[in-house]
Amino acid sequence: MRRLLFAANWKMHLPPHEAREYVKVFLLRYRTRPDREVWFFPPAVSLEPVAHAVRDRSDLRAGAQNIHWESKGAFTGELSPAMASHAGARATLVGHSERRHLFGETDAETSRKVMAALKAELTPVLCVGETLEEREAGQTLAVVTRQLEAALAGLDGETLGKLVVAYEPVWAIGTGRNATPQDAAQVHAAIRRWLQSGTRKAKLTRVLYGGSVNLKNIAELLAEPELDGVLVGGASLDPEGWATLAQTGAA
């Protein structure tokens, strides 16, 4: 069975003192559920306090928003996998649409980051998705498949089972627009076919949806059996609202 996963990407919000207070409120409001996990991806300066606050909970995890593929060196502003791990990270986002489209991260770089994360025993959450122009041109599945091939080619089914894939259509990130549950399920099904094709046979890889997820649409999204959870930005910044959202959906 694949446990539901609710992942909170705080982006460039919540510095350390606010992050500590956030987790205190969340822990008071959130009831543990055996069918799900909740992961937090704070900015780098808040990673250690968040990881410390959830260290005793097997269902909660802290992760890095981004890592570099090198272990050390002259890479000003970057975070190595080992640094993230020592700060308490157990996972990392890779290839988020903002990293790809605002900072020019390439498919080749996402591959290096996935491999570096796995080597450091961090769970990669690989983000894939198409732009509005690509969607309107009917290229959604071709783009997503290209991104999967570039980042995950050569990995066997057992290794693929250790990572997470998040489908996040670029046109739905922070825009208030989101794919319909049926649209999301169609792409998720295609991702799952890729994961299970050939010699990969990866049946345990969780596939999340990300893109303007909120309390109004979460239940409808989770009703689709192809979705194993969600990657949430803005709606995860309020601890009480996030606690409510993360408890939505039946086991």
Tell me the pairing of strands 206-210 and 229-232: parallel
The answer to whether residue 18 is catalytic is no
| Helix or strand holding residue 232 (H, E) | strand 229-232
In terms of Cα–Cα distance, which of 202, 111, 196 is closest to 161? 202
Tell me the pairing of strands 60-64 and 229-232: unpaired
Please identify which of the residues 37, 48, 68, 96 carries the catalytic annotation: 96
Please identify which of the residues 48, 105, 168, 226 carries the catalytic annotation: 168
In terms of Cα–Cα distance, which of 55, 59, 49, 56 is closest to 6? 59
User: Residues 78, 84, 89, 94: is their CA dihedral positive or negative?
Assistant: positive
The answer to whether residue 96 is catalytic is yes
Q: Is the separation of the CB atoms in 215 and 244 below 8 Å?
A: yes
- The Cα–Cα gap between 189 and 168 comes to 14
The catalytic residues are 96, 168
